[in-house]
Amino acid sequence: MARRAIITLPALTLRLQAQGPQTALQLAAAAGVDRSQVSRTLAAANDAVVQIGAARRARYALRRPVRTIGARWPIFRIDDVGRAHEWGELEAFHGGFRMTWAATASPLWAGAFADVDGWVDGCPFFVSDLRPQGFLGRALARRLSDSLLLPADPTRWSDDDTLVFLQTAGDDLPGNLVVGETPLRRALAQPDNAPDWVADSDRATRYPALAAESMQTGVPGSSAGGEQPKFLVYLQPAPLAAPDVSPPPPQAVLVKFSQPLDTPSGRRWADLLAAESHALAILTAAGEAAGEARVLDAGGRRFLEVPRFDRVGAHGRRGVVSLGALHEALGTGPANTWVQAAETFAATGLIAPEALGAIRRRHAFGELIGNIDMHFGNLAFWLDDSAPFRLAPAYDMLPMLWAPTTGGEIVPRTFAPLPPSPTHAADWSIAAHWAAAFWQRVAADPCISPEFAATAHTCAETISRLITRFSTA
């Protein structure tokens, strides 16, 4: 008489480790045993094996510890007055992750990125988007890579690497999410008048010192995207004269800075930063950006001070997520421009038609001012529980066509923006008038070098000819 097949818990867990989540029927078939035997064996696994879903969707997954930081982490949101709220819990398993929401209802967009049980193959997009990016992100990653045993280049990080980073340095990142109890406690302990607080009257002395420190270590402020050298501070406005009036709240600002102004590269970057201030002013007037920037020359450099729209006062935050994170998570195929990606989102209802129109206008404006750096990290959406996603204010809009080379050389550039397609002519026409105003402002700005002012004048003439031929306004 043949011996009855049996299945042991180690054998089951080994299969779950190798194959990822499996139904009881799949496990039973692989082992050649009855499904009831699988169920009895799994009952002895305690919390190591978790049932995902119920009834016909039920499958079993094996928890996966991530190095020394555990296998599950609460995710918190900090609101606009600085209070923390638990948003959900992230759990790591062999084969993927599960997100369980703290509220009775999941975010309206959740079904587009995870199944009905909160299962996703990789780290959720709103967590992976917290990976360090840009100038400050690379500096932060280099500083922590040895102690955390991470690659120095954060673009090479795995999901696990990102989670390890978030437990150590995830308390002050763009947006309003904090992953883990310890980072949250650090975030809530952030004191008023910390080292990165700058009085408005001290900008001319503090900014050059912070720029020098940032070039050496990348320490000032949290990680923020963008390749231009920068630091992050809280700006304390000057007190009001009236003693019975409350002082203005501090404002979180991102401060970009040029190389020394007495170098060709520094002079050109100074022109580009001044140009960015004009682009932001025009977009703010059009309702596409959140505030005007200030330009300051001090310590032999030019500084561009841009208000952060993901911060409110001293401690409040707002949630944001990049187009790049959404596009990667949605998995809808390649897209080369903001507009191509946005059209996919609009077709699936993830962004509203008005957001698509705004993205078309921003993209056209960028083309018409020579912004050749409109990558997917330079467009963002508000991250809350609502759907469709709402477009966040514009940022990093400047004429990068004329940026110095990586070696610091200034080379001639050809500005030849293309006319619009007939289907986008209306949005293009609006953006073209923004661009005309932009180039006129740049050409007339005394902070702009004579050389770049001449370039701006020529570009203004180019835009004028395009408007004459193709504008529908």
Q: Which residues are catalytic?
A: 373
Rounded-to-integer distance, Cα 152 and Cα 140, Å: 9
DSSP string, 208-247: HHHHHHHHHH--SS-----SS-EEEEEEEPPPPS-TTSPP
372 phi, psi to nearest 5 deg:
-100, 15
What is the dihedral sign for C-alpha 149, 155, 157, 161?
positive
Rounded-to-integer distance, Cα 441 and Cα 284, Å: 15
> Cβ distance 79 to 85 under 8 Å?
yes
> Cβ distance 35 to 28 under 8 Å?
yes
Left, alpha or beta for 446 (phi > 0: left; psi -120 to 50: alpha)?
A: alpha
Please tell me the total number of residues recorded for the chain in this structure.
473
Rounded-to-integer distance, Cα 112 and Cα 105, Å: 15
Q: Which residues of 445-471 are buried (b: 16+ CB within 10 A; e: fewer)?
A: bebbeeebbebbeebbebbeebbeeeb
Rounded-to-integer distance, Cα 178 and Cα 146, Å: 23
Rounded-to-integer distance, Cα 8 and Cα 352, Å: 52
